[in-house]
Structure 1
Amino acid sequence: MDQPLPTQGTVSVVEIEVADAPDSWERAGFHVDADGVCCVGDVRIRLIGASGAGIVGWSLRGLPSDGSLDGIPTMRSDADPPAPTVHPNGVTAIDHLVLMSPDLSRTVGALAGVGLNPRRERDARLGGQPIRQIFFRLGPVILEVVGAPEAAGEGPSTLWGITYVVDDIEATAQFFGDRTAPVKEAVQPGRRITTLRHNSFGMSVHTALISPHILTA
């Protein structure tokens, strides 16, 4: 059984590891450096081009040791944030990561073990089935944990998708053309969102793009 990671301090996302080839992300308008790293806001996305698919692990600041976080391979890191990077597709930051959980109570407990507490919850439906979304804050990145409200399944949680902030959602949609869904109103008031047909670029991470947060006085 996985041992919970003890807490040390404020937890934030440093790096995400993805089993994609760098050129697939370059085709989607992301800048990728010679080491296969795509820097988005304060987060590095390391494209390892290995067998498998999707997000295969992450590194977090504020943990005293490496380990597993509800089944997700998790490394400790104190790396400084990267320098700002310009992406041709207009991406400026990560808005949120989506974590799919087979057992919400178990996942929430694992996150509490590293000092992360829910900020809010929301009930919704997906494919006609009820789901619950539970939101956490990891530095500037939101973690959206999704699962069936009453389920208590086995198996690990998985990091399923990334939603990015773009300064101009219409310009980004035009950049991608027919490889995005129509731009629509987001759940967050005043924001607009579209989803990327990521498979058309050879990407394995579910990807959405959202307009900036609405600042209120």
Structure 2
Amino acid sequence: MDIQHRWDAPRTVSITVGDAPESWRDAGFQVDDNGRCVIGGVVFHFVGNSADRGVHDVTFEADTPIAKDSPTIEIRGLTYHVKAPGTAGDIPETPTHTNLCTGIQKLEICPVETWYTLTQMVHRILPPPYQAFPYRNPDGNPQHVALWRMQNMEVFEMADGMGQTTEDEMAMFFLIVSDLEAARKVVGTDNCTEPFPMGDNRRGLILSNKALDLSVRTFLMEPPHEGDDQQDG
């Protein structure tokens, strides 16, 4: 029997978000007239805030059976599109964003129940994660986590919603900026938090959803320091 033990790292192609393009422009991102914004080779489509807020769908390139048979699947309210490797076109270049954003550290899905969603995803949408484990938060509550290696970010993460949601959602973007203090000045100190430690000797800040009218919790964080393991999330 031919058993495949390893898979090429998938690629996140695009994400559709129910936010107004001007909200992301106000945060220092370059967004064109069609609401298209490229970050780390991933195309973000901002389709306006009059429809459903949050992430509508995610498109991957991945070597999984669904890419051949059923290229769209919905899991508890979140829609995934899967394309076969090499069929989604070239990876677009990231433009020069005013806020100095250069790439993606991770995107995080928060499902209602991690293991249900994980079993639905594996081999249908993504290959198996390289890590799946129980994690204990500082408050003592357990949280189940899974991590995938991705071509165009450090990791792709799934961490259960801890009872906070009734549907699966992509709840957090972690984006890398080359200079955190300069990025904060561009965004505006009233539109984000103070910088704070985020682990792995890196600092970050959180954009204000209320002030900027964003629907996804978005972090700006420093690049990894030389010698740090970029795959640990």
- Please state if 1:168 is matched with 2:179: yes
Q: Partner of 1:84 in structure 2?
A: 94
Cα distance in structure 2, aligned partners of 1:122 and 1:60: 26
Q: Partner of 2:79 in structure 1?
A: 73
Q: Tell me, which stretches of 5 or more residues in structure 2 are unaligned?
A: 1-6, 229-233
Find the residue that maps to 1:81 and give its secondary structure. Answer: coil
Deviation at 1:84, TM superposition (A): 2.7
More off after superposition, 55-64 vs 113-122: 113-122
Cα distance in structure 1, aligned partners of 2:161 and 2:43: 30
- Please state if 1:12 is matched with 2:22: no
Cα distance in structure 2, aligned partners of 1:127 and 1:199: 26
1:113-148 deviation per Cα after TM superposition (whole angstroms, max 9, x unaligned): 231323354623276643233222232222221126
Residue pairs, 1:13-162, within 5 angstroms: 13-49=12-48, 50-62=50-62, 63-64=67-68, 65-68=70-73, 70-71=75-76, 72-77=78-83, 78-113=88-123, 114-119=126-131, 121=133, 123-125=135-137, 129-141=141-153, 142-147=155-160, 156-162=167-173
CA contact (8 A) 1:69 1:111 kept: no
Paired positions, count = 207
Cα distance in structure 2, aligned partners of 1:193 and 1:23: 23
Deviation at 1:79, TM superposition (A): 2.5
Q: Tell me, which stretches of 5 or more residues in structure 1 are unaligned?
A: 1-7
Cα distance in structure 1, aligned partners of 2:160 and 2:11: 22
TM-score for the superposition, normalised by structure 2: 0.79
The 1:127/1:216 distance shift into structure 2, 3 A limit, reads closer
Cα distance in structure 2, aligned partners of 1:122 and 1:40: 30
TM-score for the superposition, normalised by structure 1: 0.84
**Residue type of the partner of 1:73?**
T
Cα distance in structure 1, aligned partners of 2:161 and 2:58: 24
Deviation at 1:55, TM superposition (A): 0.7
The 1:157/1:148 distance shift into structure 2, 3 A limit, reads closer
**Residue type of the partner of 1:46?**
H
More off after superposition, 110-119 vs 93-102: 110-119
The 1:76/1:105 distance shift into structure 2, 3 A limit, reads closer
Aligned-residue Cα RMSD (Å) equals 2.6
Q: Partner of 1:5 in structure 2?
A: none
1:28-84 deviation per Cα after TM superposition (whole angstroms, max 9, x unaligned): 111001221011111000011151101110111123342225332112341321123
Deviation at 1:173, TM superposition (A): 2.0
Cα distance in structure 2, aligned partners of 1:203 and 1:59: 21
Cα distance in structure 1, aligned partners of 2:145 and 2:181: 27
Find the residue that maps to 1:86 and give its secondary structure. Answer: coil
